[in-house]
Structure 1
Amino acid sequence: MGLLSFIKGAGEKLFGASEAQAATADDLKKEVEKHGFNAEGLDIQVDGDKVTVKGNATSTEEAEKIALALGNTLGVAAVENELKVDSPAADAAFYTVVKGDTLWKIAEHHYGAGKGGKYEVIFDANKPLLSHPDKIYPGQVLRIPPLD
């Protein structure tokens, strides 16, 4: 999957995390589980502001979401996603939210003018990391799947 970049000063604040240092591997595992993913068998390693995750995922989508759950936490600047996938699919694009963004605006940017209504595709692609289409924040990284 590769290396994903994040803004380490943005994201969920976990116990023990700071802008200079990511949370512990155990706390990051809890974050993955909080979003409903199985963290059993995941090998999460923390080196300063870089997190490496190894193990297995059922799909490319799940592997990407696990990486986002780890990266969208305070103190993480990069996630090296080395998860092996049982059912590979095309990788999604990733987008870092900036001030003033909405999912509609992001959909128009990625899918083309007049396609803002496809924001639901982006919202669905980021569940359960997103609980509502209006609850995005600057610095957050989102999955942007290709349109069918």
Structure 2
Amino acid sequence: MGLFDFARNIGNKLFGSEDEAPEKIKGHIEEENPGVSNLEVSVKDGVATLSGQAESAEAMQKAVLMAGNVKGISEVHADGLTAPAPVQEVQYYEIQSGDSLSAIAKKYYGKASDYPRIFEANREVIKDPNLIYPGQKIRIPVE
């Protein structure tokens, strides 16, 4: 999966100093348990590095998004996070000002009413379908 870029100055504020960032990000990912075992997180200069074993490509993608959508993180390296090959193709989308999950669903699937599909694919990343923010990155399952 390699490297992902994120907006460093937006997202969930989980830590006050970079020294506490690895523990806070690891706890954040493990709390939702997207399917990653032996998770290790390190953070240096706003770059989070993840390692461990993901039970699926989806679990790996969610862990990366959960780490990257944290305020203070500008990149996520996941070369040390192993996972099986993906069974479903996904695209990544960065939320823009004025977006809603319905509008995104209309853009990708042709029907605004398909927004639950996007919400379910990002349940660990998005807690409430009405609370998304510009700069947040999410997964869009490809039909």
TM-score range, shorter chain: 0.7 to 0.9
* Counterparts of residues 1-148 of structure 1 (less than 5 Å): 1-17=1-17, 24-37=21-34, 40-82=37-79, 83-86=81-84, 88-111=86-109, 114-147=110-143
Unmatched 5+ stretches in structure 2: none
SS across alignment from 2:77: strand
Number of residue pairs the alignment of both structures matches: 142
Contact 2:57-2:83 at 8 Å conserved across structures: yes
Q: Which amino acid aligns with 2:122?
A: N
SS in 1 for 2:83: strand
Give the Å deviation of 1:34.
2.3
CA deviation vs aligned residue, 1:75-108 (integer Å, no higher than 9, x gap):
1111112221146324421111111000111122
User: What is the alpha-carbon distance in structure 1 between the residues aligned to residue 50 and residue 89 of structure 2?
Assistant: 17
Judged with a 3 Å threshold, the aligned counterparts in structure 2 of structure 1 residues 23 and 141 are, in CA distance, closer, same or farther, namely: farther
**Cα contact 1:52–1:81 (8 A) shared by 2:** yes
* Alignment TM-score, normalising by the size of structure 1: 0.85
**RMSD over aligned Cα, in angstroms?**
2.0
The SS at the match of 1:143 is strand
- The Cα shift of 1:39 comes to 5.8
Q: Which amino acid aligns with 2:52?
A: G
User: Percent identity, aligned pairs only?
Assistant: 35
Classify 1:73/1:49 alpha carbon distance in 2 versus 1 (closer, same or farther; 3 Å): same
Name stretches of at least 5 consecutive residues in structure 1 with no aligned partner. none
